[in-house]
Amino acid sequence: MEEKIISVAIDGPAAAGKSTVAKRVAKLLGFTYIDTGAMYRAFTYAVIKKGLDPKVESQAITLIEGMTIELEDDGRVICNGEDVSKPIREPLVSGNVSYIAAMKPIRLALVEMQRAMANKKSVVMDGRDIGTYVLPDANVKIFQIASVETRAIRRYEENLSKGINTSLEEVEEDVRKRDYIDSHRDFAPLKPASDSVLIDTSYMDIDQVVDAVLKVIKDKTGVEACH
Ligand code: DC
């Protein structure tokens, strides 16, 4: 019997812990984790590296043609053959990625890649518009939130552990700015899908969130993790 392809969409604002949770859930279920934010970051990095202005659409879209972005199973992000895993987390990219993500032609190109990935195998895909736009028929849709303060502290600690030096104030300002731009853009803005399950992680640790997500997946699809 052919195995059923299942898709799990995890959306929510910046630094809500989506990627940590999505990665763990994917591993426990044997699904592939797809970090769509990393794809927008990789595109942003490529634009900056070429000396183009990430705020100017006519410049940024010149890179769509021929752009390749690969998400490796070990978490590495390869853009046009280059390993960009580290630079895409630096403040220069974080501070500009929302401009790139608001450009419709770039979204359409990346969404096409994301849909192709989800067509091939069972995925846990995290982003902003997965449940509303990329995979509107996803089997499971989670909308993961946390307060701005909690999210800023989490991202700050994550940056430190990756050797990226930023102040907490800088991170909080970046989170607020991205919340605003991501939820106010015209095309596929950040918002919960009407059929999503909301999980507020402000007072939950990672294990609790992972368990909550696994329970939703089990209830909706019958699929269980083999712990
Ligand atoms: O999840 P992240 O912080 O790595 O995402 C980086 C940016 O990309 C974020 O500010 C919004 C944008 N993004 C998006 O618009 N749509 C997605 N599906 C994923 C990310």
Query: Tens of pLDDT along 134-163?
Result: 999 999 999 999 999 999 999 999 889 988
Q: How many domains does the chain have?
A: 1
- Is residue 78 assigned to a domain? yes
Three-state DSSP class for residue 141: strand
- Is residue 1 assigned to a domain? no
Give the residue carrying structure tokens 């859930």. 25
pLDDT at 162: 85
pLDDT at 2: 60
- Is residue 91 assigned to a domain? yes
Q: Name the residue with the closest Cα to ligand 1, atom 13.
A: 37
Please tell me the distance between residue 1's alpha carbon and the centre of ligand 1 in angstroms.
37
**Alpha-carbon gap, residue 21 to 35, rounded angstroms:** 11
Range of the domain at 77: 7-221
Out of 36, 99, 144, give the residue to mutate to test ligand 1, the one with the largest number of ligand atoms within 8 Å of its CB.
36
pLDDT at 14: 87
Q: What is the CATH number of the domain that holds 26?
A: 3.40.50.300
Give the residue carrying structure tokens 């970051």. 41
- Is residue 155 assigned to a domain? yes
* Contact partners, residue 141, CB within 8 Å, separation at least 6: 8, 9, 11, 130, 131, 193, 195, 196, 197
SS in 3 state form for 40-97?
HHHHHHHHHHCCCCCCCHHHHHHHCCCCCEEECCCCCEEECCEECCCHHHCHHHHCCH
Minimum-distance ligand 1 atom for the alpha carbon of 178: 10
Average of pLDDT values for 202-226? 94
- Partners of 144 in beta bridges: 199
| Of residues 47, 48, 44, 64, the one with CA closest to residue 112 | 64
Out of 89, 90, 97, 133, give the residue to mutate to test ligand 1, the one with the largest number of ligand atoms within 8 Å of its CB.
97
pTM of the model: 0.92
Query: Tens of pLDDT along 52-93?
Result: 999 999 999 999 999 999 999 899 999 999 999 999 999 899
- Does residue 1 carry a pLDDT above 90? no
Q: Which residues line ligand 1 (CB under 6 A)?
A: 14, 36-37, 40-41, 97-98, 101, 127-130, 178, 182
Q: Which amino acid is at 113?
A: M
Residues in the chain: 227
Query: Tens of pLDDT along 117-140?
Result: 999 999 999 999 999 999 999 999
